[in-house]
Chain A
Amino acid sequence: MKITIGHLYPDLLNLYGDRGNIQCMKKRCEWRGIEAEVKEFQLTDAIDFSSLDIVLLGGGSDREQMLVCNQLKTIQKDFKEYVEDNGVVIAVCGGYQLLGHYYDTSEGRIEGLSLVDLYTEQGSPRLISNIVIENEAFPYPIVGFENHGGRTFINGNKALGKVSFGYGNNGQDKEEGVMYKNVIGTYLHGPLLPKNPHVCDHLLARALAKKYGRAELEPLDDAQEKEANEYIVHRFTKS
């Protein structure tokens, strides 16, 4: 079995330890004897989405997102097809905002990919905090760190979780992130996947199921992952 991970524009979208998300998916495949290949795409590269099993869209500064957004128009159609065909996507921070229709900033509108029905508006102050969210579909909370000026509204889509500590999508509705088909968008970094191996395995399982029709993931020893996760849960929601 083999998983191919496409990392979009790591030169521009690489804030907040995005490399850790890639590393986590790669290692958790390898530890199970599943081959994992990471393909990095630069801004002008052509992307064959049919060759990818997981797409990672990371975070960048507003300025860098502006540079990326012009290029995104050229891949929008193929990317949309990939998503509608249940392709797996993990989009973090800036990448999450780019999933939507637009991000309105004081410097102008950053057009998004319109892959998911959501939009983002700049707000003040920046929402900066450790964050803990809960989703019944996952066996324990999802933890991370958020740092975003944008307020995201997901228009009735399913959220990734309910906020038990921190701000979430917009600091108002106590929701964080979005889940649409096999797409997860979230403001959580820290990075997201190493401390949330259940989310990582969810993505891997979806990718394997789509590719091979079945998805049995051998359990791994996640004691250290859980300890790091529990530390945050305990410190911010139980004290």
Chain B
Amino acid sequence: MRELTFSTATREALTEEMERDPAVFVMGEGIGERGGNWGTTVGLFERFGPMRLRDTPIVERGFTGLCTGAALVGGRPVVDFMFLDFLLDGMGEIINQTAKLQYMSNGRLTMPIVFRGCIGVGHSAATHHSGNYYPMLAHVPGLRVVVPSSPYDAKGLLKTAIRSNDPVFFLEHKSVLGVKGQVPDDEYLIPFGEAAVVREGRDATVVAIGWMVHQTLKSCDELAKDGVSIEVIDPRTISPLDTDTMLASVKKTGRLLIVDEDYGPCSVGAEIAAQVTAKGFDDLDAPIMRINGAFTPVPYAPPLEAAVVPNPTSIALAIRDLLAE
């Protein structure tokens, strides 16, 4: 075991998969010699050369469609959007072609493509560089959506993503890139659709997504001083979504809060709440609660930016509120 940052762990996963399979290549803006805006490909250009680390012009629809075509004919592209917000320019290609071609070909074609990009609010990235978008993506049949929160999960899930024959979105919150954690020396993969219980507890269940896992764990440490015992679940993949783990936890605690930095309306939390209510109604001792980011474009000013997303204090309040139900 070693302690690695999230970024290092994903870079390690990408390197290993590129070594393992010559069909794997990366395409995006500034991912060649520059090594990627977020350091996702640092050192890989020297190692694998310009054929497998292809810098592109600023034309998302173009390289998204190009990589979709490459995946159809045996390539295993990793499209690096830098900020995930830029995905929006390639959205028509992704939803209408990438996500549907396997279905339309009756399974004769495969679509082994990974889209990765940074998500999330923070660091004064402002309106055009702070989106999360995973509810939108998880809404589309044919796409898989991964939102890891730890270096361990990031490495195991990225390797699974690259080996998957389905289109996968691998989304990295800006604030988790520097998070450190234990990563095994040996190779491992983490299957999709398996949530992680990151903290065990008995009084309430909190499902947290991405960076919110860390914020929630901080509030749980505070609450533990008052004897409040919270179980925290990280779904790790939004699509497929592992509600069985959530249901098992709710069966134990009777209470559920969903902590999500993204907007509340039509969110992942709404989906989780609906499924848990449908399947676990008789286990619920309180209404399912959600805490979300404010329903607003993300402001630039640091105090305003901080105010629109949940933080350990507001999460702790929400948990206390849930326990008072």
A binds B: no
Interface residues of A (CB under 8 A from B): none
Interface residues of B (CB under 8 A from A): none
